Homo-oligomer: A and B are copies of this chain.
Amino acid sequence: MGTVSRVLNGHTAVSAETRQRVLAAIAELNYSPNLAARRLSRGKTMVIGALVPYFTNPSVVRRLQGVVSVVKGSQYDLILFDVESVERRDSYVRNVLRRQIVDGLLMISLTPTDEDVAELQRAHMPTVLVDARHPQLSRVVVDNVAGGYMATRYLIDLGHRRIAYISDFLDDPFNSPVRDRFTGYCQALAEAGIPFRPEYHLQGIHGRSAARQMMRQLLQLPDPPTAIFAYSDTQAIGVLEETQAQGVAVPQHLALIGFDNIEASEYLHITTISQSLYASGISGCELLLQTMTEPPSEPQELLLPLELIQRQTTDPLLPTSA
C-alpha cells in the first residue's frame, strides 16, 4: 500500500519495474484513490473557496469567470460560497473556516472585518482579496479614488457642472469602492471649484430598479443634473431606462458614465470606466495559489489599471444608439 502511494504521488524513489507493476494493477482494477482519505491523511483539501457577494451581480460573475479559468488549470477544485443574505454576512468567514473545507480563500468584492482577518490568520488560511482591501491581506485592486476622479473629471471637461453620483450605500462596511469613488468624485468637483451638492448624491441598494428610482428623483429636482456618474454599469442601465421612459435624450440632455465595463454596457453603448474584471479574477487566483505554496513575507498588492471607454452616452456629437 505504501508503495502504491509512492507511485501515485511520484514521491520517493521507486524502481522502474515496481512502478510498472503498480501502474498495471491500477489500470486493471480501474482504481482511483479516495480523496477524502487522502485529505484526512494529508491535512489538505485541494479545494479553494470563493466567497462571493450577490452572485447575480454581473461584475462579480465576470471576476469569477477569471477565477474559474485559473482553477481549471490547477490541481484544485473550486467551491462557491454565495453571501447573499445579510444574516450570512456576519459569520461567513467563521463558517468557512470552521468547516476546514478549503485550503485557500478568495474573497471577491467583500471587505473583511478586522475580526475576520484575525480568525483567518489564527487558522493560517491563505487568503486573497479581489476588489477589496485590508492591510493584512494580499489583494488585487484598482484605484477607485482615481476611477471616481477620472469619471467625474471627464464629465467636467465636457462642460458639465451639475453632476450627480448614483451609488450603493456609502456606509456599507463591506463595500469600500463606493466610498473611494465618492472621494474621487468630490476631489474632481473641488478641483474644478464646483461645490458638492448633497441632493446630487443618491444612495440605494445595488441594482437597476433602485438606480432607476434614484434617477427619477433626480429628474424631479428643480435644478436637475446634466450629467450622471453611476457607481456601476448596472446602475447606469437603470438610469438609461428611466431617461428612455421619460424621453430625456442621452447624451444631448443628459450625459451618463458608468463603471466596470460589463458586457451589457457595450451593447448599450454606455461610456464607462473599464476595470479588467476578468483579469482581476485571474490575478487573484494566481496570487492565491502562489500564496498557498509560499506565503509572502508581507501582503502583496496588485494594482490593476483603469481605462475610460468613451461610448455614446457622453458625447453630444454622436447619435444615440439605435
Contacts and interface: CB of A to CB of B under 8 A. Distances in A.
Interface of A: 32, 34-37, 39-40, 43, 45, 47, 55-56, 61, 64-65, 68-69, 71-72, 77-82, 84-85, 88, 98-101, 237, 241, 244, 250, 263-264, 267-268, 320-322
A245 to B, nearest CB: 10
Contact of A36 (B45, B72, B82, B244): B45
A268 B88 CA distance: 35
B72 A82 contact: yes
A144 to B, nearest CB: 25
Contacts of A80: 68, 78-80
B267 A100 contact: no
Nearest to A77: B79
Nearest to A84: B72
A40 B36 contact: yes
Contacts of A40: 34, 36-37, 39-40
3 pairs of A and B residues whose beta carbons are closest in the complex: A32-B98, A36-B39, A36-B40
Contacts of A36: 36, 39-40, 43, 45, 100
Q: Which of A36, A80, A81, A268 has the most CB of B within 10 A?
A: A36
A100 B263 contact: no
A268 B244 CA distance: 12
- Copies per complex of this chain: 2
B82 A68 contact: yes
B65 A56 contact: yes
Given A32-B98, A77-B101, 14 more contacts: A32-B99, A36-B100, A39-B39, A40-B40, A55-B65, A68-B82, A72-B85, A77-B79, A79-B80, A80-B80, A241-B267, A244-B321, A244-B322, A267-B267
A306 B96 CA distance: 39
Nearest to A88: B72
Contacts of A237: 267
13 contacts: A32-B99, A36-B40, A39-B39, A55-B65, A55-B68, A56-B65, A77-B81, A77-B101, A78-B79, A78-B80, A237-B267, A241-B267, A250-B322
Nearest to A234: B263
Contacts of A85: 72
A81 B263 CA distance: 23
A254 to B, nearest CB: 12
A237 B268 CA distance: 11
A53 to B, nearest CB: 12
